[in-house]
Structure 1
Amino acid sequence: MPNDGNQTEDQAGRAETGITELERSKRRWIAASLAGAVMLVAGAAAWSAWAGQGATGEPPLAGAVASAAAGRNAAPDKTGQAGETGGASEDTPDGPAFGKKSGEAKSNEPNTKPGKATKEPGGEPEANMPAGSLAVAKDADRAATPKPVARAVQLHETAEVAGGVATISKLEAIQAEAEGIGQIAGPAIRFVVEVRNTSTTELKLDNAEITVEAGAQKLPAIRLDGSGTKLFPLEVAAGTSASGTFVFLVPEDQRGQVRIYLNYAASESVVAFEGAAPRKAG
């Protein structure tokens, strides 16, 4: 038969071993709980520090400072030189979004007024332009400026021009024919403008132009190329005369008041003839 004393000792030893394992499990659980709590506290502290840095404007990390400095030094300012920024951004505390007026924001655009050429180093813009370019520019400005019109004379009278006189030597009503692209047939007037050179030098007519207005509203008439038209010669010799024949579409009901303009020189006033034109052809 087994010994009761030995059984009692074995049971006591097993009981003590169970208690020891239980204590160890409790200790491991407590240690794990403490480690988790420490990690939570450390994470919360790190998050609070990161959020507080963004809210309080603490300086960024060294790497961010170096990147920002490199970008700022590489970006040219409004004068084209590196090392300075061109102005406050709207997204920064110095920009208009943080209380500054929009008119105070600086711009990187060059401060150049429209219509004026930028001066080049070493002289005025005109000094660097060829003489031919200056002449063309001045002629273009002169042509774009409205020219004065001399006092109008009657259709049968003589008008004075620089270096001579001009007259309407013939005026008639015709039925014009369409010749060429864009030409329109219809009732028109045909007239001859004669220019006499009374000076001792040649009179230039290479830039001479003829225009016509008709009716009370002074509507511009359409010029035709056919039906007996003939342009002025390029010049008129001293003491001689030259003429040109011109055709314009003018409705019969607008011929009670007709104005014929002779613009023969860029530096001279426009010569004007006015009066009633014939209504019926033939």
Structure 2
Amino acid sequence: MPERSDETEAGMPESGNAERGRRKQRWIAAALVGVAGAAVAVAAAWSAWTGAGTTTAPPSDGAVASAAAGQEAASGKTGQTGETVTPSEDDAEKSDKKSEEEKTDQAKTKPSEAAKESGDGSVDNSPSGSLAVAKDADRAATPKPVAPAVELEETADVAGGVATISKIEAIEAKAEGIGQIAGPAIRFVVEVRNTSDQELKLDTAEITVEAGAQKLPAIRLDGSGTKLFPLEVAAGKRASGTFVFLVPEDQRGQVRIYLNYAASESVVAFEGAAPRKAG
């Protein structure tokens, strides 16, 4: 039997040891992998157990809508592709038209609907106060026709009766009240006689005076014996008012007294020379 050489005998033990070393390394690596897998499994189980007690509620519809609106406003209404979406002119025009229609519908609320909402069953079909005021303002601003003037001593016709200057005199007016001015003035009495079978309204009657060749308006005073017309005159009766106006003596050669009797009637005018000296 041939003899083994020294190299052969020496190499056999070294090859066995290397094999055993490689097996040991593979076993250690497998053990490490197993330990790592167990650690991952434990960590996953712990995360699942702790997360079960702190479940987050899903966001509400309002929150989602608000977030979407904020995102849309911040991004300038970007599309899915990231491009900015700008509204077309047709869309803007439709939006403006819709807003105008809504405003018009709100402005056209019927009185009956407003009454129902307020709980009041009555419906006011009369013109609105602003419309009535506007009509009165237009009427007041429109110049009224003036009837041909009559002499101070004559009688002028008015609707349902006649008017006269029953008395006129020169006085030294006193300042009575705030804004009043003392000075030479004329005081006269205007009398209205009701010749109809119905009462005459005098609540809107107005007296004005112009004096001099330039027809300057005279200032009306409230004191020095003034007395307003009564509100009405009964059928067949007469009523009067006393009026005082500041008129300088050099302007009394031509005095015109106007009686604005009613809104629907022409202005009555009395014209002539007024007394210059008091007493």
TM-score bucket of the superposed structures, by smaller chain = 0.5 to 0.7
Question: Sequence identity, in percent?
Answer: 77
Amino acid aligned to 2:201:
K
Distance of 1:76 and 1:141 partners within structure 2: 40
3-state DSSP of counterpart to 1:140: helix
SS in 2 for 1:69: coil
C-alpha displacement at 1:79, in angstroms?
A: 2.5
Q: Residue 139 of structure 2: SS of its match in structure 1?
A: helix
What TM-score do the two structures reach when normalised by structure 2?
A: 0.59
Are 1:249 and 2:231 an aligned pair? no
Equivalences for residues 162-241 of structure 1 within 5 A? 162-241=159-238
The C-alpha deviation readout for 1:130-185, integer Å capped at 9, x for no partner, is: 34635554333322211110011011110000000000000000000000000000
Are 2:62 and 1:69 equivalent residues in the alignment? Answer: no
Q: In the alignment, which residue of structure 1 is the partner of 2:256? A: 259
Equivalent residue, structure 2, for 1:11: none
Q: Distance in 1 between matches of 2:162 and 2:238?
A: 9
Between the aligned partners of 1:139 and 1:121, the Cα distance in structure 2 is 26
Distance 2:249 2:257 in 1: 16
Alpha-carbon distance change, 122 to 131 in structure 1, aligned in 2, over 3 angstroms: closer
The residue that corresponds to 1:275 in the other structure is 272
Q: Alpha carbons of 1:252 and 1:76: their partners in 2 closer, same or farther (altered >3 Å)?
A: farther
Is there any run of 5+ residues in structure 1 with no aligned partner, and where?
1-61, 83-109, 111-118
CA distance in 2, matches of 1:139, 1:132: 13
Structure 1 residue 202: deviation in Å? 0.1
What residue number does 2:126 align with? 130
* Structure 2 unmatched runs, 5+: 1-80, 112-123
User: Deviations 1:200-258 (Å, cap 9, x if unpaired)?
Assistant: 00000000000000111111100000000000000000001000000000011111111
Whole-Å separation in 1 of the counterparts to 2:155 and 2:214:
25
- 2:155 pairs with 158, 169, 176, which one? 158
Structure 1-normalised TM-score? 0.58
Distance 2:145 2:271 in 1: 16
- Residues 223, 121 of structure 1: alpha-carbon distance in 2 compared, 3 angstrom cutoff: same
Query: Which structure shows the bigger proportion of residues in helix conformation?
Result: 2
1:160 partner letter: D
Cα shift at 1:264: 1.5
In the alignment, structure 1 residue 149 sits paired with structure 2 residue 146: yes
- What is the distance in 2 between the residues matched to 1:265 and 1:248? 21
The letter of the residue matching 1:229 is T
**Which residue identity is paired with 2:240?**
S
Report the CA distance between 1:75 and its aligned residue: 7.5
What's the Cα RMSD here?
3.2
Per the TM alignment, residue 78 of structure 1 is displaced from its structure 2 partner at its CA by 4.8
DSSP 3-state at the match of 1:79: helix
Q: Secondary structure at the match of 2:97?
A: coil
Alpha-carbon distance change, 164 to 74 in structure 1, aligned in 2, over 3 angstroms: same
Separation in 2, partners of 1:77, 1:250: 67
Distance change in 2, residues 1:252/1:78 (3 Å)? farther
Whichever residue aligns with residue 130 of structure 1, its letter is S
